[in-house]
């Protein structure tokens, strides 16, 4: 019998874990004659009773396993660790807050199985078609991010894409070959290729608790995504530099000709200071873009582990 591994990164989700476990078992019940199920929870250095909740499930059900980090390494590290720990023929990655509906799992499995010899899908991915319950400002910037990164990068990232995926072992093994330290999993899914079927669903509210993703964290995460899959910001910095060099050269010619023809020296230090400050800001912006790429390169060359395990079962 084939096996399904369900990978679940967790950070301070003590209350959500038992609810997720019960709901997911109900959802996969129709597949009990075709699939064995294992749960791979990843405790990302939680500060509450998340690990205790997972251990309780381990005592109740031998199909439950976990990896616990020595500190908080982030969701990307959690996903990578979960994929490494998963041993199933199929692997599903899900959020524990039930915003990724477990009821879709049987349908995802059927799509892959029924596509054998036809479309041959290796992945069924999900995307939200609504953002009900999200602050409007967050929804606006989320859509803006997807538009920007798809224009800047050759790697397509679908608007509203979730980390909720049902993948074949072949695709999981390909993802694990990518061992970069600065991980952006949404981009990695697309970069490794494989045929993917998209399932759409409406946004679902969290079962309990509050999101751990603040607007600032999402902003930094979006920058990581752009830097990981596009060098367009470097091109923009170069174009800005060339453009302002041309403008300054033209301005210099205008000043010289004006003085020679009309004998009118240039006056007005406020305008001069404003221009200098503006150009200085552009220079700092370009240096900042270059610095971000250098910083990412620096972190990669250190070859630090993506995560450190404190305990596993």
pLDDT tens string 13-61: 888 888 889 889 888 888 888 888 899 999 988 888 888 889 989 888 8
Q: Which strands, in side-by-side order, build the sheet including 196-201? A: 196-201, 123-128, 161-168, 90-93, 2-10, 35-43, 64-69, 309-312
Residue 272's nearest CA partner among 280, 262, 284 is 280
Higher pLDDT, 223 or 106: 106
Contact by Cβ (8 Å): 182, 300: yes
Residue 54's nearest CA partner among 15, 4, 112 is 15
For 148, the token pair is: 């920007």
Residue 88's nearest CA partner among 1, 218, 12, 17 is 1
Q: pTM of the prediction?
A: 0.74
pLDDT tens string 219-270: 666 677 666 666 677 777 777 777 777 777 776 677 667 767 766 655 665 6
pLDDT at position 275: 73
């Amino acid at each position: 019998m084939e096996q399904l591994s369900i990978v679940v990164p967790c950070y301070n989700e003590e209350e959500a874990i038992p609810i997720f476990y019960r709901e997911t078992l109900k959802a996969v019940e129709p597949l009990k004659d075709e699939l064995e199920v294992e749960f791979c929870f990843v405790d990302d250095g939680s500060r509450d009773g998340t690990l205790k909740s997972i251990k309780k499930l381990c005592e109740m059900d031998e199909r439950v396993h976990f990896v616990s980090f020595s500190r908080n390494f982030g969701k990307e590290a959690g996903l990578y660790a979960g994929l490494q720990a998963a041993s199933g023929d199929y692997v599903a990655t899900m959020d524990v807050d039930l915003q990724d509906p477990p009821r879709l799992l049987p349908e995802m499995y059927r799509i892959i199985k029924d596509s054998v010899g036809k479309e041959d899908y290796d992945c069924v991915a999900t995307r939200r078609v609504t953002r009900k319950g999200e602050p409007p400002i967050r929804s606006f910037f989320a859509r803006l991010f997807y538009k920007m990164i798809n224009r800047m990068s050759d790697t397509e990232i679908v608007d509203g894409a979730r980390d909720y995926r049902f993948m074949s072992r072949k695709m999981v093994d390909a993802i694990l070959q990518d061992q970069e330290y600065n991980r952006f999993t949404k981009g990695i899914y697309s970069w490794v290729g494989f045929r993917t079927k998209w399932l759409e669903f409406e946004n679902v509210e969290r079962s309990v608790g509050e999101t751990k993703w603040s607007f600032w964290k999402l902003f930094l995460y979006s920058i990581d995504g752009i830097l990981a899959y596009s060098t367009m910001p470097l091109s923009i910095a170069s174009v800005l530099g060339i453009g302002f060099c041309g403008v300054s050269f033209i301005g210099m010619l205008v000043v010289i000709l004006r003085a020679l023809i009309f004998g009118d020296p240039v006056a007005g230090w406020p305008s001069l200071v404003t221009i200098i400050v503006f150009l200085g800001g552009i220079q700092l912006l370009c240096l900042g873009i270059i610095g971000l790429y250098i910083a990412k390169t620096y972190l990669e060359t250190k070859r630090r582990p993506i995560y450190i395990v404190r305990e596993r079962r």
